[in-house]
Chain A
Amino acid sequence: MVAVGLTVLTGLIIFALLGKDPILGFQVFFVYPLRSLYGLSELLLKATPLALIGMGLAVGFRAGIWNIGAEGQFLFGAVFATGVALYLPSITGVSLLVMVFAGILGGMAWALIPAWLRARFHTNEILVSLMLVYVAQLFVSWLVFGPWRDPRGFNFPQTEMFDAAWLLPTLLSGSRLNLAFALTLIVLVIGHILLAKSYYGFSIRVAGESPTAARYAGLSERRNIYAGLLIGGACAGLAGMAEVAGPMGQLTDKASVGYGFAAIIVAFVGRLQPLGIGLAALVMALFFLGGEQAQQYLNLPGSISRVFQGLLLFYLLAADVLVQFRLVRTPPQTKGAT
């Protein structure tokens, strides 16, 4: 909370420094997106992938597994989902189920690489999962510029639009909010049960906080690595599927706007707790929307939202020390006294 407040305050200072009216900036960034029902539905739409990926990452982070490549897993979920949408016959009802599984599978497949390398060769999963983000981006670019390019797409790097049977149904008429939002809520509840109530949740906490203790307790390190990465991959893949089968309706070379990285911040700001992640996703989604509004009304680059997101994480990390330790006023020490 303090961190959010400080971020908003810094935001006002930034606006002032840029010569924009800070009050107007505040309104554009944090109030305009929420003025209408449609705005609110857009907020929830943007928060959906953030919460979904953040939840998956939180499981890994708790286990001491640093999956930084959610962006790539997100893209692979999108690629697998696009694959089934383009090549399989559409059957109402069944199609969506197949697609959900394809998305999850895609994300897991891409997360399997760092998991296997870490379990088998002890490679650093941070660097491997991150390198795979670049590879995934290039792979998507190859698909949409090459074999999957829409022949009637005027040479734009994008696939054909999906058939209606392959699109997630919207929840609110007139908005783009879709079934993925409901799925995300379910995932957050499952996440809560998994982390707070299950033996598995306890075992990953032990593994994350004290690997030595986990080894003595006979917990499998290998299982911990696979679970930590694959759960993150599954959630990211699901989010990727929901993006192409939801608001986009096709795969393009701009399939992700950095949800995978923003979700890392969401997981931390949410303190790796399902409820916190839900709230953090809303705040971060507001930053995304605010960035779009700032582009439109204040003529500022949209990347300002990433600046705010990064600031939020700094303040949170810095504020942690005040949560964990208490400030104590000590009398000034006199020289020579011990």
Chain B
Amino acid sequence: MTTELLGAILFAMIVAATPLMLVALGELVTEKAGMLNLGAEGLMAVGAVSAFIATHTTGSVTVGVLAGITAGVLLSCIFALVTIPLMANQVATGLAIAIFGVGLAAFIGKPFESSVIASTPAWNVPGLSEIPVLGKALFSHQPIVYLAWLATGIVIWVLARTRTGLVLKAVGESPAVGHAIGYPVNRIRALAVLFGGGMAGLGGAYLSVFYTPMWTEDMVAGRGWIALALVVFATWRPWRVVLGAHLFGGVLILQLFVQSSGLDLQVPAQLLSAMPYLATIVVLVLIAGNPKTIRIHSPASLGKPFRPDAH
């Protein structure tokens, strides 16, 4: 019985971690290029609502996912436009994206609040899903989960092993040098921002189409912000993002399990719901306890605009 429960918890943890992982990896790529986009919460919200509406109207999950990604890319276009050619403060613009995105999503999603879409069945990996306990936990997910893992693998590989990854990181560490060598610094940065937006949109789509197939105004519930915290937690290293996302997925799931288990813990439900947020704070404190790690690993030009003609 206990192994079964553990398997169920592991399964749920992966499901809960997937959106965090996607959004945090997107943000990681953005930040590696030296851009700080704090708007993940808003990007996820528009991604979620667009994906839901598209799935609801066309009946196709694929169209929904594509709509979510597109919405994230479009909204991050605004961020790129305001911060790169117009050189506005990235922190302020990111906050604007967050506030605007959540508001916009609530606005366009209002007529769809009570609509339902069919939940997508899980796809069992042939053979592997037969493994006792682990098979059910790892290889019996909705297709999007495998897709997320594929995307994760590609991002990690590109960052660590390819020329593209190297150029991206160079632009984030020293845009002036990147420019001197002849790379289009601002174009690379813009693309990184759009990539981050697309990933956040995908994360949002995951929430509204797969995780809980419905749309409510507050469904993102701070996941965008937690993803931002994850990037800091991971000190800008992709593997740690994956690890961190699953730790947080665990926290999210554990409180749900405790709430639904009927255990009478004499603890108010609200305190349990607050756990992920409190955990984020605790983790930030633990990581920040060693400021040197953060300084070494954070991209050197993070958040600073670059004017090619000034060099």
What residues of chain A have their CB less than 8 Å away from a CB belonging to chain B? 66, 68, 117, 121-124, 126-128, 130-132, 134-135, 138-139, 141-142, 145-146, 261-262, 264-265, 268, 300-301, 303-307, 309-311, 313-314, 317-318, 320-321
Select A123's contact among B89, B92, B104, B285, beta carbons within 8 Å. Answer: B285
Residue numbers in B under 8 Å from A304 (CB-CB)? 107
Tally of contacts, chain A with chain B, CB under 8 A? 127
Interface check B103, CB cutoff 8 A: yes
Chain A nearest CB: distance from B158 CB in Å? Answer: 27
Contact among B86, B91, B95, B217 with A318 in the assembled complex (CB-CB below 8 Å): B86
Contact check: which of A126, A262, A309 meets B38 at CB < 8 Å? A126
Contacts of B280 in A (CB 8 A): 127, 131
Hey, which chain A residues are within 8 Å of B278, CB to CB? 131, 135
Question: Is there an interface contact between A317 and B104, defined as CB atoms closer than 8 Å?
Answer: no
CA distance A131 to B294 in the complex (A): 20
Asked if A135 and B277 sit within 8 Å, CB to CB, the answer is: yes
Are B106 and A309 touching (Cβ within 8 A)? no
Shortest Cβ gap from B54 to chain A (Å): 18
Q: Decide: A131 and B96 in contact? CB cutoff 8 A.
A: no
Complex interface: chain B residues within 8 A of A68 (CB)? 95
By size class, the interface of chain B is 35 or more
Q: A315 CA to B214 CA in the complex, in Å?
A: 33
Are the C-beta atoms of B274 and A313 separated by less than 8 Å? Answer: no
**What string of 1s and 0s marks CB contacts (under 8 Å) between B31-45 and chain A?**
000000010000000
Whether the Cβ atoms of B106 and A301 lie closer than 8 Å is yes
B58 CB–A CB distance under 8 Å: no
- Chain A residue at minimal CB-CB distance from B88: A317
> Which B residues lie within 8 Å of A66 (CB)?
91
> Which of B1-9, B118-126, B173-181, B265-273 is the interface stretch?
B265-273
Q: Flag whether B140 is at the interface (Cβ < 8 A).
A: no
Verify A307–B104 contact, CB threshold 8 A: yes
B289 contacts the other chain (Cβ, under 8 Å)? yes
Instruction: Decide: B88 and A303 in contact? CB cutoff 8 A.
Output: no
Q: Pick out which of these stretches binds chain A: B65-73, B186-194, B196-204, B222-230.
A: B222-230
B166 at the A/B interface (Cβ < 8 Å)?
A: no
- In order of increasing CB-CB distance, the 4 nearest A-B pairs are A310-B100, A306-B103, A301-B110, A303-B106
Known contacts A306-B106, A317-B96, then 12 further A-B pairs from the complex at CB < 8 Å, ordered by chain A residue: A127-B225, A127-B281, A131-B225, A131-B281, A135-B274, A306-B99, A313-B96, A313-B100, A314-B78, A318-B81, A318-B82, A320-B88
CB pair A127 B107 closer than 8 Å: no
Closest partner residue, chain B, to A143 (CB atom): B270
**Which residues in A have their C-beta under 8 angstroms from that of B273?**
138
Residue pair B82, A123 in contact (C-beta under 8 Å): no
Distance (whole angstroms) from the CB of A229 to the closest CB of chain B = 15
Q: Is the CB of A141 within 8 A of B270?
A: yes
Contacts of A131 in B (CB 8 A): 222, 225-226, 229, 277-278, 280-281
- List A contacts of B103 (CB < 8 A): 303, 305-307, 309-310
A117-B88 contact, Cβ under 8 Å, with A265-B96, A301-B107, A314-B82? no
Residues of chain A lying within 8 A (CB to CB) of residue B88: 317-318, 320-321
Q: When the two chains form their complex, are residues A303 and B110 in contact, meaning their CB atoms are under 8 A apart?
A: yes
10 residue pairs from A and B, CB less than 8 Å apart: A66-B91, A117-B281, A117-B288, A124-B284, A127-B232, A131-B225, A131-B277, A135-B274, A138-B273, A314-B82
Is B93 interfacial (CB-CB < 8 Å)?
Answer: yes
Q: Which of chain A's residues have a CB closer than 8 A to the CB of B271? A: 138, 142
The smallest C-beta distance from A192 to any residue of chain B, in angstroms, reads: 22
Pick the residue among B96, B106, B226, B228 that contacts A314 (CB under 8 A). B96
